Amino acid sequence: MELDGKVCVITGGAGSIGLAAARLFVAEGARVMLADLDETALRSAVAELGADRAGWQVADAADEEQIAACFDAARNRWGGVDVVLANAGITGTIAPVTEYPADEFDRVYRVHVRGAFLTCKHGLRTMHDGGSVIIVSSVAGLRGDPGVSAYITAKHAQIGLMRSVAKEAAERGIRVNTLHPGPVDNGFQHGLEDRLGKVLGTDATAFFDRQIPLGRHAAPTEIARSLLYLASAQSSFTTGSTLVVDGGMSG
């Protein structure tokens, strides 16, 4: 049991990667508080995980009052927080930078950057010393790609946030890292590929697979296992780092 008795807060916790992590964390002995915008998905996730091990809060990760309330709820129910997963995310529009709507740029940046910032801020406020904060960035935080300038920029910015917070939190023994998944076999990525395929005039799923040396998308459970590594004492001397789980795509 890698996370026996640990309390974890997961933003975007009703989505594919968030819920895959929640399943694995609960199986490893943790209790999880899921924060998401999607109440129906939250209810069904908690019904599956068990109400004794999981709680939920409808919260916009980029709304300070709502995200603060989520961390307070976890602390009030279970004591302090041990693991924080800043995972909420959206892809945004696909368009070249010359046509990219400024409002859409702000919307994407708000969720990933302001959202991760507030998650770190209120995570640290409610955490026990010695915990772990993980920001789910992306292979898109390590390389450029056309048509997704807001997403690429926001995912790069999360590394800067992580590096800064890692230096601040180290004196409390709290580790802070980013995880960089490559394309995952889930609705988030397939939705992006459907739209990108129309712009490129080609099958975007195959387009991505050709760029991945391992030749395929990741399963959400493969991403969850890397999150477990960063969440647990297995990574006790790892902080300020970028863990890449992309089948070789960014190499």
Ligand X SMILES: NC(=O)c1ccc[n+]([C@@H]2O[C@H](COP(=O)([O-])OP(=O)(O)OC[C@H]3O[C@@H](n4cnc5c(N)ncnc54)[C@H](O)[C@@H]3O)[C@@H](O)[C@H]2O)c1
Contacts with ligand X by CB under 6 A lie at 11-12, 14-18, 35-38, 41, 60-62, 87-90, 111, 115, 136, 138, 181, 183-184, 186-189
| Closest distance of CB 55 from ligand X, Å | 15
Q: Is 240 helix (H, G, I), strand (E, B) or coil?
A: coil
Using CA atoms, how far apart are residues 234 and 37, in angstroms rounded to an integer? Answer: 31
| Closest distance of CB 172 from ligand X, Å | 25
| Closest distance of CB 171 from ligand X, Å | 28
- Closest CB to ligand X among residues 78, 208: 208
- Closest CB to ligand X among residues 226, 232: 226
- Closest CB to ligand X among residues 37, 127: 37
Q: Is 11 helix (H, G, I), strand (E, B) or coil?
A: strand
Using CA atoms, how far apart are residues 106 and 137, in angstroms rounded to an integer? Answer: 17
Q: What's the Cα-to-Cα distance from 78 to each of 53, 82, 128, rounded to whole Å?
A: 10, 10, 12
Which amino acid does the sequence have at 241?
S
User: DSSP code of 51?
Assistant: T
Which residue has the CB atom at the shortest distance from ligand X?
15
| Closest distance of CB 155 from ligand X, Å | 7
Kindly name the residue from 100, 109, 151, 229 that is annotated as catalytic. Answer: 151
- Closest CB to ligand X among residues 93, 173: 93
Q: What's the Cα-to-Cα distance from 79 to each of 47, 128, 133, rounded to whole Å?
A: 22, 9, 17
Kindly list the strands in the beta sheet with 242-245, ordered across the sheet, starting from the edge strand earlier in the chain: 54-58, 31-36, 7-11, 81-86, 127-136, 175-181, 242-245
Active site residue 109: no
User: DSSP code of 216?
Assistant: S
- Closest CB to ligand X among residues 126, 138: 138
Q: Which two tokens stand for residue 184?
A: 């995952």
| Closest distance of CB 7 from ligand X, Å | 19
Q: Is 137 helix (H, G, I), strand (E, B) or coil?
A: coil
Using CA atoms, how far apart are residues 81 and 128, in angstroms rounded to an integer? Answer: 6
Active site residue ranges: 151
